[in-house]
Structure 1
C-alpha cells in the first residue's frame, strides 16, 4: 500500500534537489534516505542518477536536465515562430517610429548628402522628412544633455555634502533653496540614471504585507486548530532565516490533524510563487481531500491571484485570519517558533547550508520522529498519527 501511495505523489524540483543533497552529504544509502523521507527508493535512485548526468558523470547519449529543457524550448519556439513573424510584420510601422533615433544616427554617419545615406534611408524604410527632422533636433538634444550633466554635477555636490543621505525630496528642496527651479521628476530621473540614492531608515516589521486592493477570504478556521482527519485543514505562513548571504525565506503548509509539514518551499525572496510552490508540494503528495481549507494571514502573497488560481485548481477552499492578529494563525506561528528553537542554529553561513539543515529537520525529524501529545492517543509522531487515522478509516470502510 505504501508503494502505491508513493507512485501517486508528485514531488517538486526543489524537493528532489534537497533529497539528492541529503543522499550525498549524509553518507547513508539511497534506501535508508528514502525510508527516512518517505519516498520510494527507486524514485530517489532515479533522482540521484539524473543529478549525476547533470554533473557530467553520465553516458554521452544520456540527456541532462538542461538539454531536455532546451529541446522543449526549441519545439515551443518553432511553434511560435510563424505567429511571431506575423506580429512583427503588423508592428513594423510602430517599430520604425521607435527606432528613428538609432537609424538617424546610422544614416548621419554617412554624411547628409552622401549617396550612401540616401541608399540607407531607402533600405531602412525611413522617410526622408523624418530623418531631416531628427537631424534638425540634434543641437537641441545636445543642449539638453549638457544641461543634464551640469545639473547632475550640482546634485552630486549636494549629495556628498549631505554625507550621501539625501534622496530626491531633500535634493529637490536644496536646489530650490539655491533658487534652482527644476522639476522634481527631472531630479528623480537624473539621480536614477546616475545611481545616486539616499539612505532609507528601515523599521523592523513582520513579513505580512496586506495587499491594498485584494479582497480577503473569509475565516473558515475561527481559531479552531483541530481537524478530525488528515487533508482537511491546512495552515500556512512565511518566515525568514538569517544567513551571511542574506535572508532565506521559508513557506510552509501544516496539516492540523497530524501537525505534519505537508508542503514547504525555500527561496531568497517571498513573492507569491514561494507559497504557490509550497502548496503544489502539499497537493502533489496526494494527501489533500476535496474542499480542504487552506488558512493563512492576509499577506500580499496569500491574497495574490497566483495563489487563488492554484487553490481553485487544486479544489481547495481559501481562509484568512484578521489583519494584525497573529492568534488567528497561531498554529503556523507555533511551528516556526519550534523550528528556530529546536534546529540548534541561530545564524547560518550561507543559504545552501540553511536549506539543507531545514530540509533534514522537517523530513527526518519533525515529520517522522518528533513526539507530540495527541489529545486521544498520547505521544505520537506526526507520521504515526497519520497512520492511526488511515487505519481507522480502513476499518470504518
Structure 2
C-alpha cells in the first residue's frame, strides 16, 4: 500500500545569530526569491506570452511542492466555516435567529455572559454577521468603561453590548437598550437581577424584555433551578411570607405541617447536595429510632406566639401587681393609701376608703408607738389644700 503524501508547513529557521536574522530578512522577503517559490501569476504569464519569450527562458517559479488541499495552502491551521460555527451550537443558532428579529424590529440588546472566552467567540460571530457591538468585562480599564458606556448610550448604530454579568458594578446606566439576553445564568440570582436593573434605570421609556437561554438536559437547568430556590429562600427569610408552590418557583415550603419542618426545608435548600443528603439520612435514623421507642421520645414544644401589646397596656403595666409592702394600711388592716385596687377588694365595704379618726371601733392595736409623723390620708390632704390648717385633725 502507498502512504499518503505528507502536508507540512513551510520551513521556519530559528537562529539567535544577527547574521542569520539579516539573511532571513533579505532572502525570504526578497521579491525575486519569493517569486521563485510561489507559482507564477496569470498577469506575469500573459506578459511573458505577449513578449514572445521562449519557454526555456521563463523565470524559475513554483519551487514549493503543490499542497494536497488547495484550501489548506501551506499551513495546518484550519479555519472552520462560520455557518457550521453557528449551527453546531443549538443555543447560538437560536440566538442568531433572535438577533435577526430584534435587528429588524429596531431593538438594542444587552448580552450577558459568565466567561470571557465565550465573549471572544461571540465577537467572531458578531463580526461574521456585521453587527456593531461594544464589549465590557473585568479586564476593561476604568476610563475605557466610561467611554464604552457613553458610546453605547449615544450611538444608536451599536446593536449589541457584550457584558460580563459580574463586571461593571451597580452604577452602569444602559437605558438605551430595551432587550436583555442572558446567554449564561449565574448561581446567584441577585447578580442576574442587578444585571437586568441596568436597563431599568430612570430614563427608560420603552418596555424592557428579558430572555434567558437554557439548553435542555445540561448543567444549565440545574444552575437555574438552584438559583430559583435561593431566590425563594431569600424572599421567605426577608419578608416572612409563605413559600410558593413547587410548580411556580421550584420550592414548596407549604407542604409541611409545622413551622419546624418548613425551617428544615429552608436549611436543606441552602445546603449543598452532600450536606442535604447527610441531613436527610440523620433525620430518617432519628425517625426510625422514635418509632421503635415511642415512650422515650421527647415531645417538642409548639412555638408560642408573642402577645401583641398596645400602648395603653404598656402604660398601665404593673399597676395590678403592686407589692403589699407599698400599700398604707390603718389599724384595721384597711388600705388607706392611693392606688388602683384589684377586683377582689372592690366588693368590700368602704374599708378601702379613707376612715375618719375616732370613728374606728375595734380592739386596740398592738402596734408599737412611733415618734414619727403620722401618715396623712387622702381626706386630710384635701382639707389642707382647701385651707384648713388642721387638715380635719381637730378633736
TM-score, reference length from structure 2: 0.20
Comparing both chains, which one has the higher relative contact order based on Cα–Cα distances under 8 Å and sequence gaps of 6 or more?
Answer: 1
Structure with greater helix percent: 1
TM-score, reference length from structure 1: 0.20
Structure with greater strand percent: 1
Structure with greater Cα Rg? 2
